[in-house]
Structures are given as structure tokens and as C-alpha cells.
Structure 1
Amino acid sequence: MSAQTPVCQLLQRQDMDYRDWLWVAPPRDTWLEAGQGRLLSADHSILEAWREQGRPVHSALDSDLGSPPGAVLFWPKTHALGEWWLLKLCQDLPEGTPLQVVGENQGGIKRVLKVLAALGLGCRKLDSARRCSLFDTKLRRVGIDPELAWTRFEAQELTLISHPGVFGHGKLDEGTQLLLEALPELLPKGDCRVLDMGCGDGVIAAWLARRGARVSAVDSNLFAVEATRRTLATNRLEGRALSSDVYSALNDERFDVIVSNPPFHQERSIDYGPAARLIEQAPAHLEKGGRLVLVANTFLPYADRLEAAFGSFRVIADDRRFRVYEVQKN
């Protein structure tokens, strides 16, 4: 089977026995999923795809990773997240474990040389092709706890907990700000069940919980789910946070309101898939008269999808960069 992504195509041509190696934060690629080795990922959909193949997996938040013969780290576009992965591997894998780091040149893989040097890890370049590069090193104890990557900041009179792997790390996104300004007029009076779809650092979930809503929050990113749990706990608020591929973890649950600032990037590529499923499947998860409220960049083509799923929509707020849409189930 041939690899599909450039980084995996580079790995496939190596004269290496990757049997039982640990694949860390890889993309979706059937060459990996049908091969050998174990997965370490923070992506719910990738973890589920490997489980469906009967492959062994570890969550990004697991600490018991065993003693694999080696590991391959797929360098993310967010360098601070790549550094967190390096610290985690140095902490949780045996000293001396071979590590390869692979990534696209446009994604900043060449910066890995400086990062590894700063950690005192020697490095050599193994190969380059398909506009990707592959580096080789060995793990050692570095004395920096990856837990230090979790940070806190203040916004909306809340203390928010964030991680480099979470959207908008360390600040309140402008689109989310516009959404929160529009929400008070749209929430039902009294008791209501609200779903925060794509919960990020938990600012929307916490904002809703503080106003008395019964909040469920979901995200496909395990760092986001953990950040939301920590944000709710830090602010002494009630709510649940689940890892989910859009609605997959919710079965047939229904809500009075679904609120979202949906993602549209997958690494450096635009991906409308999750947002499309959020909109198309929303009627099945809303009570009669329930609302879907979402914010999006003005250039994103969501109006047609909202009209197709609900028959009509309203624009509640528009600051020329972001637009808040509201639709109601009849």
C-alpha cells in the first residue's frame, strides 16, 4: 500500500524497520493505519480510525507509553505544540529511545534543529523529499515538565486554562468575542440545555454555565476537552466535556441551543467537513424551536448550508471580519 501524504511518502522510502514504533501526532494516512506500530495522538477521529483497524493507540494525555524501539514525531504547524510533544516524549519514553522528526518544509520543520539543540539533543538530517525533511535524534531527560505548557489567562471575567494544542491558545478569539456579545438575546429564559460544539479552551462553555445553562461541550481535540474541563473546574462551574467527532459521542441527545465557533483548518489546509456536518446534523440534535448559533469568518460559505438544513437563517452580528448566524428548528 502506498502512502498518501508527503510526510508518509518520505517515511515509506526509508530503509527502516518501523515495526512496533510509536507514531506521534500523525495525519490520516492508510499506509500508517494498515501498517504496524502504535499511535499517540490528540485527535479523536484519528484515534477512532486506528481503533477500528484493531491497532493499539495511546491518548496524548496518557503517561504510560511503554518502551517502543523508537518513535516518529510528525511536526505540527504550531511550534509550541511540537515542543510540548518533544518534552512529553523525553519524559515518558526511556532515555536513549531513537526519535525521528518529520514534517513539511513550509510547516517549519527546519526549525526543529534549533529546538533540539536548545534541549541538548543531538540531531542529524536523514532525508528530504516531497518538500519534507526527516531528522534523527535520541531522547534524553531534559528536566522540563511538559505540564508547564498549560497556561491561564483572564477573559470575560473568567479564568481560562489553555494549551499550545488548543485553538486561539492564550487569548480570546475575536470571532468568539462577537459571538458572546450576541448570545444573551438568543438564550431561552430559565433552564436550558446547551451544547458547545468545538469547545476549545472552554470560554463559551464556562460563559454559558455561569448563566445557569446545563452545558455539554465537545471537541475532536483532546487538548481542548481537557482545557475545558480545567476551565470549568477552575471557575467552579458545572458542565461536562467529551471528546467527539462532531456529534458522534452524543448519540440521540437533543439540546435547546447549539453554539459554535467551528474550525475550518486542518493543519495548513482548509477543511469544511466538520462545519458542514455540524450544520447538516444539527436539526437531529435540537429540540423543536431550538436554535443553532454559530460565528464564522465572513468569507466562509456557510449561508447556503444553513438555508439547506433549516430553510432560512438570520445574521445577528457582522463586524466585516466575522458574522454570527442564527437558525431555528421549526
Structure 2
Amino acid sequence: MSAQAPACQLLERQRDKYAALWVVGPPVDSWLIDQSAGVLSGDFAVLNEWKAKGKQARTPFDLAAGEPLGKEVVLFWPKAHQLGIWWLKWLCEQLPSGTPLEIVGEHQGGIKRVPKMLDELGMRWDKRDNARRCSLFATYTIALDSASDSAWQNIEALGLTLASHPGVFGHGKVDEGTLLMLESIEDSLPKKPLKVLDMGCGDGIVSAWLAQRGHLVTAVDISAFAIEACKRTLAENGLEGRVLCSDVFSALEEEQFDWIISNPPFHKERDISYGPSQRLISQAPEHLTTGGRLVIVANGFLPYPDHLQRAFQDFYTLADNRRFKVYGAIKPSR
């Protein structure tokens, strides 16, 4: 477990003895897990940390409307400001009006914008503390004029309608790298139905594009927001696919696919993290049929060629527009 997060240090300074604290969108922090009764998060890795300690752990999509959480709720303000606004509106819908709500976050993560945003929503607030380059605000839930569902946007791309949520990578736009990847495989993709895995499905553009061409799609992501977005995208286009929450291959056991396609993430909040993409590449051969293919797109500076060389002994470049590169690798026959 990493060192205590600054925002958690600020919470620990409070005189309150939280009796039944629910934390929303928090970092993984051992003190916070021990201190809290439960967690609400869109990140399945976070949920699993709380579950491992016997705590309650839920996504916002598996709670019934009005299902009680308790009267001690702390929202950790996310880097994505629009996601923070969504969480705030969702909490106002989920909790009875007048429920105390605290909001904590780091200054470099945008917490200083929260008072103005609360004013605009008509929510009274007090500043409770300020230390560790973090701030803590106290407010109360109210009935708001605009619904949290208004944060969802529909985007048109490649003849598809995509459901976009501020909790999903690239909210409100279509990723250039993903478009390059799909363009690069269009001519080489077999016409016969393939069993394809969309790893890190995001808003579901890859899954929908493949399903539209008759392929049997399994989409996985570690984000509950992405899982919900991908399901909505498939439904919006009248397409079918299996959508699962999974930390890379964790939910797939020994299942194999003809193709694995991915635009793997390399950021975790403000940090660069290669862990998931390294696991994707190194474990891909185990999840490909003989002659099966891995296709990934990446920023040109990322060190994926080395990983591909180790995992597959060989790889090739399908496309390169200077900003992004699309790599392919084939599982050899033994």
C-alpha cells in the first residue's frame, strides 16, 4: 500500500470521529479503508481493495435509487471537473435533501474550483480545513434543477452513435488513436465472424464497430463508467456484445480469442502507469488462438515495441501518423 494520500491526511486531521463514513471516488488508502464503512467508486480496483477488508463497495450503477448510504459522506474531488459535477448531482439525487456532504481534494486536482461551482448550483458551503495542499469543504445535498443523467452525451462517429460520460477516457470526443487503429485494420479484418476481445473498451466505439461488421465481441474495462457507456453504445446502435468488468484479463480465466484489440491506457490520474498495458501485452499470447492477432494503438513515445518483442518474438507496425502508432503481433504456432 502506498503512502497516505494528502487528502486523506487532511481528513485524518478532523476532530470528527466518523462512525459510518462512506467515501466516494477515493484513492486507495489503508487508513481510509479502515476508517470507512463503505466506498462508492467507478474503479473496480478501488472496490476490490475495500472488499478485501470486508467493507461495502458499490458502483453508482448498482445502487437502487434512494438506497441509503448513511449521513457521513465524503466526495473526493476528481481531476476531471465534469466528473466531479456528475458525482455531486448524483449524490443529491441519491441522498435525502439536507444530508451532510464533505468534499475534499488536492489543489492541483481542481478542488479550488468547487466553491464557485457550489454557488452556481445554489448549495451553501463552508470551508472546513486547508492543509497538505488540499482543501475540505462542507455542504448539504439539495434538490437540483438539472439531473445527473444530463452529463451523458451522444457523439456520432463512423456511422455509430456513442454514449459518452465524463468518467470515461476522452469524454465528448472521439480518440484520434482509436480512429487510426480502426482505419488500419479495416482492409485486413476477415469477413468471417471472429471472436474478438476489446480490451479497455471505454465508450464502446471499437466494440460497436466490430459488432456492426458481424464479429462476436467481448468488451472489458476496469471502469464502471466505461462498462455502462459501452452497454449504452451497443444498445443505441442495436448491436450485441458481452460487456464485463475486468482488470485486464482477470475476469476471462483461460478464454481465448481470434483477435485482441486495444487502445490501452497509460495514465492513472496525473501519473504515467504502464502496468496494465504491460500485462495486456505479456499475457495476450495465452488468450489468443494459434495464429490469433493482437492489435494495439499507442502514443509514439511509449515503449511498447520492447514488450511486444518479448511476448511475441516479432511484431509489425500497421500505421504511424507521428503522434500514434498501431502495432500488430501474431501468436505463432508451436
Pair in the same fold by TM > 0.5: yes
- Ranges in structure 1 where 5+ consecutive residues have no aligned partner: none
Distance in 1 (CA, whole Å) between partners of 2:313 and 2:134 is 45
* Pairing 1:114-263 to 2, within 5 Å after superposition: 114-263=116-265
Q: Distance in 1 between matches of 2:132 and 2:272?
A: 20
Q: Distance in 2 between matches of 1:27 and 1:234?
A: 33
Correspondence 1:315 to 2:321: no
| Cα pair distance change 1:3/1:303, threshold 3 Å | closer
Deviation at 1:69, TM superposition (A): 1.9
The answer to whether structure 1 residue 18 and structure 2 residue 18 are counterparts is yes
CA-to-partner distance for each residue in 1:66-108, whole Å, 9 max, x for gaps? Answer: 1412210000111111000000111101211111111111111
Using the alignment, how far apart are the partners of 2:271 and 2:124 within structure 1?
A: 32
Corresponding residue of 2:4: 4
Deviations 1:235-262 (A, max 9, x none): 1111111111111111111100000001
- Give the superposition deviation at 1:2: 9.8
Which of 66, 82, 85 is 1:83 aligned to? 85
Aligned residues of 1:209 and 1:215 also touching (Cα < 8 A): yes
* Distance in 2 of aligned mates of 1:296 and 1:91: 39
Shift of 1:6: 1.2
**CA displacement at 1:185 relative to structure 2:** 3.4
- 1:126-171 deviations in Å (ceiling 9; x for gaps): 1122211111111111132111111101000101111111111121
Q: Aligned in 2, Cα 1:2/1:165: closer, same or farther, shift over 3 Å?
A: closer
CA distance in 1, matches of 2:2, 2:305: 38
Superposed CA offset, 1:2-27 (max 9, x none): 96111111111211122212100001
Pair 1:65–1:264, CA change in 2 (3 A): farther
Say what the alpha-carbon RMSD is for the aligned residues.
1.4
Aligned position for 1:289:
291
Give the conservation status (yes or no) of the 8 Å contact 2:105–2:134: yes
Alignment-derived partner of residue 47 in structure 1: 47
* Runs of 5+ consecutive residues of structure 2 not aligned to the other structure: none
SS at match of 1:188: coil
How far apart, CA to CA, are the structure 2 residues paired with 1:294 and 1:314? 11
How far residue 301 of structure 1 moved from its aligned partner, in angstroms, is: 1.1
Q: Distance in 2 between matches of 1:35 and 1:230?
A: 35
Name 1:106's counterpart in structure 2. 108
User: For the structure 1 residues 108 and 187, does the alpha-carbon distance in structure 2 shift closer, same or farther, using more than 3 Å as the test?
Assistant: same
Q: 8 Å contact 2:21–2:35 — kept in the other structure?
A: no
Maintained 8 Å contact 2:216/2:241: yes
Partner amino acid, structure 2, of 1:210: Q
TM-score (normalizing by structure 1): 0.97
Greater shift in the superposed pair: 59-68 or 46-55: 59-68
1:58/1:65 contact within 8 Å kept: no
Q: 1:49 to 1:67 in 2, by over 3 A?
A: closer
Shift of 1:186: 3.6
Contact 1:187 1:257 in 2 (8 A): no
Q: Secondary structure at the match of 1:249?
A: coil
Q: How many residues align?
A: 330
Task: Letter of the 2:80 partner, please give it.
Answer: T
Runs of 4+ in 1 over 6 A off after TM superposition: none
* CA distance in 1: counterparts of 2:196 and 2:281, whole angstroms: 15
User: Where do residues 267-286 of structure 1 align in structure 2 (5 Å cutoff)?
Assistant: 267-286=269-288
TM-score w.r.t. structure 2 length? 0.96
Instruction: After superposing the two structures, state which structure 1 stretch, 31-40 or 239-248, moved more.
Output: 31-40
Q: Is the 8 A contact 2:18 2:35 kept in 1?
A: no
Residue 74 of structure 1 corresponds to 76
**Structure 2 residue identity aligned to 1:20:** A
1:39-64 C-alpha deviation (Å, 9 max, x unpaired): 00110111122112211112121234
- Matches of 1:3 and 1:255 in 2, distance apart? 39
Secondary structure, aligned partner of 2:149: helix
- Of 32-41 and 296-305, more deviation after overlay is shown by 32-41
Paired with 2:102 and 2:227, the residues of 1 have a C-alpha distance of 28
Please state if 1:327 is matched with 2:332. no
